[in-house]
Chain A
């Protein structure tokens, strides 16, 4: 499993890339592997405010619909429209072209519950 060093990870298998007061969010390589062929992504609406751990959008494989949870609290700033026409980007490039949305983090956003790459790798190993 690919677990990039520069990201933070939620126990529900989303990743978060911090850049200043904003963060980019997607699902991990492990998550896309578990989901298998992604055929539909229901993107969040720009401007939506979410709490950490709150369901924010839905990713569908041929077999099932899966909820995606926001790893941090904030307001949805932008969404990856490319996923509408090419949902399989979640499978082929989960940490790159398969990003899902960006958040403007709340001033008091708490990222301490998110895992460092080594801890996330350990969690997957114990799977």
Chain B
């Protein structure tokens, strides 16, 4: 466990910007540059730039790729058009979550799986263990870097950099740009609840693109942002974090992700267990909690009470900079999952009231 954390191609850039760096799941990553609140606000009102090079890029190719992926993943790959992506999950046989990921169909028989940093090896080994002659699985995570540009000004920034005439992807689309220092894979996705892009480039070009994007975005209020703001933003937006809210002990049905699980598409790993769970009913569900009034910010693993009975614990928690209140997620028994239900969080031996609330807690205003 004493191995040094891995460095992304942008680690020297973060260090030169004075970022606070931490070991995040084996990666040396920035928590923040100036401060989490300022970076959070930048993404909600203007734009933020994140290093997501730690995330994994696994390519799946071959004539049987579509059929094979549809057996590996919960969402329906067949529905994807070329250049389109979908959120999906990789499950074990018991229906527990190995990873949540984005699956992009780049071309007919050519897919990109964008997976969590801490799960790259595990996902890759799992997929390889189901190897099939008509499918090639390549882990190219070390060859690619990723930048996430998020916020209402994201489109204007990309246009400022690439020119007004460039045709940009729409929500969940991915395009390939053949430009100097390319190729670039540009996807219209994100993990913040705002409009935005994920920009994948050859690893060695990451510092060039980081600089170019920051420069193009500076007049529009773009700030470099760390994992601290990434966590508060995703929590407000109701996105689950694997390792905190998702794990092999939880199914996507319990996590409220059933719209990404297509039980009627044909067989896939975990389907039998999920169908049984659906038929027998859930014993717990992931809900969002909003603290009532001014309280200490919730953190993971705080006990949740209904009256005197312990009914669960928080799996994620933070101050919501947008709401100015503490927010959390927790798995609770179905009887306590209706929005408006009151429970109590125990923080350092004291109880504080929290209200079960509809996810997401933050939804951006649609563009006029």
Whole-angstrom CA separation of A36 from B35 in the bound complex: 6
Interface residues of A in 42-62 (CB under 8 A from B): 42, 58, 60-62
What are 19 residue pairs bridging A and B, where the CB atoms are less than 8 Å apart in the complex?
Answer: A36-B35, A36-B36, A37-B37, A37-B38, A39-B297, A40-B295, A40-B296, A42-B348, A58-B296, A60-B296, A60-B297, A62-B36, A62-B37, A62-B319, A63-B31, A63-B36, A65-B296, A65-B299, A84-B294
Give the size range of B's interface with the partner: 10 to 19
Whole-angstrom CA separation of A65 from B294 in the bound complex: 16
User: Closest CB-CB distance, A105 to chain B, in whole Å?
Assistant: 27
Whole-angstrom CA separation of A84 from B296 in the bound complex: 11
B321 within 8 A of A: yes
Interface of B, helix, strand, loop or mixed by DSSP? mixed
B232 within 8 A of A: yes
User: Closest CB-CB distance, B226 to chain A, in whole Å?
Assistant: 10
- Contact A42–B296 (Cβ < 8 Å): yes
Using A37-B38, A39-B37, A40-B319 as known contacts, list a sample of 9 further A-B pairs with CB atoms less than 8 Å apart, ordered by residue number in A.
Answer: A36-B35, A42-B348, A60-B296, A61-B36, A62-B37, A62-B228, A62-B232, A62-B319, A65-B297
Give A contacts to B, CB under 8 Å.
Answer: 36-37, 39-40, 42, 58, 60-63, 65, 84
User: Closest CB-CB distance, B293 to chain A, in whole Å?
Assistant: 11
**Chain A residue with the shortest CB-CB distance to B226:** A63
Name the 7 nearest CB pairs between A and B, nearest first.
Answer: A62-B36, A37-B37, A39-B319, A40-B296, A37-B35, A36-B35, A62-B319
- Residues of chain B within 8 A (CB-CB) of A60 are 296-297
User: Closest CB-CB distance, A68 to chain B, in whole Å?
Assistant: 13
**Chain A residue with the shortest CB-CB distance to B324:** A39
- Contact B228–A63 (Cβ < 8 Å): yes
User: Closest CB-CB distance, A91 to chain B, in whole Å?
Assistant: 9
User: Closest CB-CB distance, A80 to chain B, in whole Å?
Assistant: 16
- Residues of chain A within 8 A (CB-CB) of B172 are none
- Residues of chain B within 8 A (CB-CB) of A63 are 31, 36, 228
Whole-angstrom CA separation of A104 from B258 in the bound complex: 59
**Chain A residue with the shortest CB-CB distance to B37:** A37
B32 within 8 A of A: yes
User: Closest CB-CB distance, A118 to chain B, in whole Å?
Assistant: 26
- Contact A40–B32 (Cβ < 8 Å): no
Q: Which of A39, A40, A60 has the most CB of B within 10 A?
A: A39
Interface residues of B in 326-368 (CB under 8 A from A): 348
User: Closest CB-CB distance, B192 to chain A, in whole Å?
Assistant: 15
B318 within 8 A of A: yes
- Contact A40–B297 (Cβ < 8 Å): yes
- Contact B32–A36 (Cβ < 8 Å): yes
User: Closest CB-CB distance, A39 to chain B, in whole Å?
Assistant: 5
User: Closest CB-CB distance, A29 to chain B, in whole Å?
Assistant: 15
Which residue of the partner chain, among B36, B295, B299, B348, contacts A37 with CB atoms under 8 Å?
A: B36
Whole-angstrom CA separation of A92 from B296 in the bound complex: 20
User: Closest CB-CB distance, A59 to chain B, in whole Å?
Assistant: 10
